[in-house]
Amino acid sequence: MDRIIPAATRLFAALGYDATTMGQIAEAADLDIETVMELAGSKRELYLAVMGRGYTSQKALLEHALARLDESGAPQLAASVHALVDDYLNFCLDNPDISALLMHRWLGDAADLQNLEQIYNEPLVHAVYSKFNSAAEAGLMDSEADVELCVRAIAWSVIIFVRYATMSTPLSSFSEGERSVDRFRVHLHRITTRMLGLAPPSATS
């Protein structure tokens, strides 16, 4: 499985579930199809294993980041929210296949495998905005902000940017390697501050 899961992840991320065959996965893993199916089961079972592994790694990251949220004051809360945003961006940059898998889903890939978002993604979103809602109710961020939409907008922005930034052939001249990542990071922090009504950056230093 140590060879099969990474190979399947790369192919599902590059081609989508629908366009990937078990033969391609076997070839990428340098195994025969019979061995792959014996160890991993069907393509459906393998896809669910890939999605489950991505969920588990994201869950660990967010649980750690949420545990570090400092609600002792507005500046402290703002600093820890920005740290969470940085952690999430860094995670997605380090694991671009996760963003690719999600974008394939948004485009209708693996449509016969329903409710995966409710199983894998929605619990993560709910955990973050529930914590942020508590902070808003405590007066540590804008109580009129639509916190759920803010959290989703941050996630959508990161996923789309990472998918674009890691393409082998960028669609425009915007891609500038690390410089584009630095630009996006600054932009992401600015929109996070404004959407959630966080204490300004000067107060978090």
- Does 197 map to a domain? yes
Residue 2: inside a domain, yes or no? Answer: no
Asked, for residue 18, whether it belongs to a domain, the answer is no
Residues 102/14/20/26 CA torsion (nearest 10 deg): -120
Q: How many helices (H) and strands (E) does the chain have?
A: 11, 0
Q: Which of 33, 34, 37 is nearest to 24 (CA)?
A: 33
The pLDDT of residue 1 is 77
Domain count, the chain: 1
Whether 109 is in a domain gets the answer yes
The pLDDT of residue 200 = 73
Give the pLDDT confidence of 40-54 residue by residue, as tens digits: 999 999 999 999 999
Averaged over 147-152, what is the pLDDT? 96
Cβ atoms of 51 and 101 closer than 8 Å = yes
Q: How far does Cα 160 stand from its chain's mean position?
A: 10
Q: In Å, what is the CA distance from 170 to each residue of 62, 100, 131, 164?
A: 29, 14, 36, 7
Instruction: Evaluate the CA torsion angle 69, 73, 76, 78 in order and state its sign.
Output: positive
- Prediction pTM value: 0.89
| CB distance 156 to 90 below 8 Å | no
CA distance 190 to 78: 12
168 Cβ contact list (under 8 Å, min separation 6) = none
pLDDT tens digit sequence for 75-113 = 999 999 999 999 999 999 999 999 999 999 999 999 999
- The answer for residues whose C-beta is within 8 angstroms of residue 4's C-beta and 6 or more apart is 25, 29, 31, 36, 39, 40, 46
Torsion sign, CA atoms 179, 182, 183, 184:
positive
Label residue 204 by pLDDT band (50, 70, 90). very low
Per-residue pLDDT band at 205 (split at 50, 70, 90): very low
Which range marks the domain in which residue 110 is found?
51-204
Q: Quick: pLDDT tens for 120-140.
A: 889 999 999 999 999 999 999
186 lies in some domain: yes
Task: Flag whether 6 is in a domain.
Answer: no
Q: Does residue 60 lie in a domain region? A: yes
pLDDT at 203: 43
Residue 30 domain flag: no
Half-sphere exposure for 55 (CA within 13 Å, toward CB)? 16
pLDDT at 125: 93
CATH number of the domain to which 97 belongs = 1.10.357.10
Tell me how far the alpha carbon of residue 70 is from its chain's centroid. 23
For residue 11, the surrounding DSSP H or E stretch is helix 4-15
